[in-house]
Amino acid sequence: MPETNSERSQDWWQSLWRKPKARWWLGIPAGGFVMFAVGIIFWGGFNTVLEASNSEAFCISCHEMRNTVYKELQKTIHYTNPSGVRATCADCHVPKEWIYKVRRKIRASFNELPGKILGTIDTPEKFEAKRLKLAEHVWAEMKATDSRECRNCHEMVSMDLENQGKSARKKHDPERLKDSPKTCIDCHKGIAHEMPKGYVEPEEKDASAATTRGG
């Protein structure tokens, strides 16, 4: 009786398995599959933790944030507004692009986590003493990225200038902004949190210095 396809396939596999070199080659796809599965699990776990650390609940889990800047945010239009669109901590302070997001998380691990452990701002008094320095650091970062996180929600091309106030309409005029070195944060400091005591706008500093020199 002629050998069936099933029998020929079985003989082929048995013959292949008896050869050590053949068994070694068969291990490559199996090993590759295992590594692929492990990679998927690791990647999924890493991104799950990464996104969890971007949640509002995570950000306000420490009293330093919950009892200070978060309370201030709740009083602003970024928290409650007619449209019902809320900006959370991560929307303003964590980049959406993956590479920049990871870089921000690494920097937080080295800069902010030690501060939490050491109690750098664990009382309202300590926080207020450092508020200006902390705020200026955030403003400088936003300035350096051309207010990247602001632009995740606010695009100039989407603004209806006709429905803005006279002052805002003038400042947002495309022709006026075309060659301007200013970015969103230059004019919108303190929009989500209280301004630090003792802060003076650069223009006011320059005007004061010019007056002093002139006098």
Q: Are residues 34 and 100 in the same domain?
A: yes
**Residue 185 · residue 149 · CB < 8 Å:** no
Q: How many CB atoms lie within 10 A of CB 150?
A: 19
Q: Is residue 13 part of a domain?
A: no
User: If you compute the radius of gyration of the chain from its CA atoms, what whole number of angstroms results?
Assistant: 29
Determine the average pLDDT of the residues in 116-143.
Answer: 93
The reply to whether 166 falls in a domain is yes
Indicate the range of 26-30, 67-71, 152-156, 185-189 predicted with least confidence.
26-30
- Supply the pTM of this predicted model: 0.74
> pLDDT at residue 69 above 90?
yes
User: CA-to-CA distance for 21 and 142, rounded, in angstroms?
Assistant: 59
pLDDT at 188: 93
Mean pLDDT of 175-182: 87
Q: Are 67 and 182 in contact (CB under 8 A)?
A: no
Residues 97 and 165 in one domain: no
Residue 30 vs residue 123, higher pLDDT: 123
Residues 142 and 168 in one domain: no
* Nearest-angstrom CA–CA distance, 111 and 114: 6
3-state secondary structure (DSSP) of residue 112: helix
pLDDT at residue 74 tops 90: yes
Same-domain status, 113 and 178: no
Q: Is the pLDDT of residue 66 over 90?
A: yes
- Give me the number of domains the chain comprises: 2
Residue 90 predicted with pLDDT over 70: yes
pLDDT in tens, 20-60: 555 545 555 666 777 878 888 888 888 888 888 889 999 99
On whether both 140 and 171 belong to a single domain, the answer is no
pLDDT in tens, 148-173: 999 999 988 889 999 999 999 998 99
**Residue 159 burial (C-beta neighbours within 10 Å; 0-12, 13-18, 19+):** middle
94 and 79 in one domain?
yes
Q: Where are the alpha helices (DSSP H) in the chain?
A: 5-17, 20-52, 56-59, 63-66, 69-73, 89-93, 98-118, 124-144, 166-171, 174-177, 184-187, 202-214
Q: How far is CA 215 from the centre of its chain?
A: 47
Are 174 and 89 within one domain? no
Same domain, 129 and 40: yes
The tens digit of pLDDT for each residue in 92-109 reads 999 999 899 999 999 988
pLDDT at 15: 59
84 and 128 in a single domain? The answer is yes
Q: What is the mean pLDDT of the chain?
A: 83
Mean pLDDT on 3-31: 56
Mean per-residue pLDDT, 6-21? 56
Confidence of residue 208 (pLDDT cuts 50, 70, 90): low
Look at residue 151 in the predicted model and tell me its pLDDT. 92
Task: Evaluate whether residue 195 is within a structural domain.
Answer: no
Neighbours of 180 (CB within 10 A): 11
What's the CA gap between 105 and 98, in Å, rounded?
A: 11
Residue 122's domain comprises 27-154
What gap in Å lies between CA 102 and CA 13, rounded to an integer?
47
- According to the model, what pLDDT value does residue 127 have? 94
Residues 145 and 119 in one domain: yes
Query: What one-character DSSP code corresponds to residue 122?
Result: -
Are 72 and 147 members of one domain? Answer: yes
Task: Give yes or no for a contact between 132 and 196, defined as CB atoms under 8 angstroms apart.
Answer: yes
Is 200 a member of any domain?
Answer: no
38 and 97: one domain? Answer: yes
Residue 212 lies in a domain: no
